[in-house]
Amino acid sequence: MPEEDRRTADEVRRFAAELGGFADVLAERGMRLGYHNHAFEFEPLDGMTAWEVLLAELRPEVELELDVYWAAVGGRDPVAEIRANPGRIRLLHMKDLAAGAEPHDAPAGQGTLPFPDIVEAARSTGVDWYVVEQDEPADALDDIVRAFRYLDGLAR
């Protein structure tokens, strides 16, 4: 979401309506539209957050992709966010929050996020897809393998 579309709650509402229109066009072509969060959606905005506005305003045709790392960096509990929105969050971006004072991502299972609880919450609320992702991998292929093996073990 561009900065100019998130300065006020009304701007976020307009952005959500625009995404709904894009979702209609894409649906006519057999595609779906998703929205992926970062940390700014959880910052205070007119007595609420952009995330709360999006949850209220986005039509169900716009799938939500919760990035558990960015939710945690934004001060939210990813498990609570998943549980609070059953059937609404369809994809999870599975990267971990490394220990330390400055936020930095890590392969799933290598940081501080409670992935067993995240996976359990996702299973019980209708999440369809789990995406292994990292913004700043140390070794992209090695990080993917480690995250996949860890998450695969949780999925069994």
How many structural domains are present in the chain?
A: 1
**Dist CA 132 CA 151 (whole Å):** 9
Mean local confidence (pLDDT), 35-49: 97
Mean local confidence (pLDDT), 43-56: 97
**Dist CA 62 CA 25 (whole Å):** 12
pTM: 0.94
Q: What one-character DSSP code corresponds to residue 102?
A: S
User: What are 102-147's pLDDT values in tens digits?
Assistant: 999 999 999 999 999 999 999 999 999 999 989 999 999 999 999 9
User: What are 1-11's pLDDT values in tens digits?
Assistant: 999 999 999 99
Asked if residue 156 has pLDDT above 90, the reply is: no
User: What are 53-78's pLDDT values in tens digits?
Assistant: 999 999 999 999 999 999 999 999 99
Q: What one-character DSSP code corresponds to residue 43?
A: S
Asked if residue 88 has pLDDT above 90, the reply is: yes
Of the candidates 138, 141, 64, the one whose C-alpha atom is nearest the C-alpha of residue 98 is 138
Mean local confidence (pLDDT), 1-22: 96
Report strand pairing: 62-67 vs 89-97: parallel
Token pair listed for 156:
């069994």
Domain that holds residue 106: 3-155
Of the candidates 24, 8, 83, the one whose C-alpha atom is nearest the C-alpha of residue 58 is 24
Asked if residue 155 has pLDDT above 90, the reply is: no
Residue 9: C-alpha distances to residues 26, 41, 106, 107, 125 (Å): 26, 11, 32, 34, 27
- CATH number (domain holding residue 129): 3.20.20.150
Contact status, residue 100 vs residue 75, Cβ threshold 8 Å:
no
Token pair listed for 5:
């579309």
